[in-house]
Amino acid sequence: MKFAIVALATTAIALAGCVDDTVGGPGASTYYDCGNGTRLKVDAIPDDMIQVQMNNDEPVRIPAVAAASGAKYTNARHTFWSKGDEATWIVGRMAPMTCKQVTMPRVM
pLDDT tens, residue by residue, 66-76? 999 999 999 99
Give this prediction's pTM.
Answer: 0.71
Check: CATH 2.40.128.200 for 22-102? yes
Task: For strands 49-54 and 78-83, give the pairing.
Answer: unpaired
Q: Domains of the chain: which residue ranges?
A: 22-102
pLDDT tens, residue by residue, 8-64? 333 333 333 443 334 444 468 999 999 999 999 999 999 999 999 999 999 999 999
Scanning the chain, the segments in alpha helix (DSSP H) are: 2-16
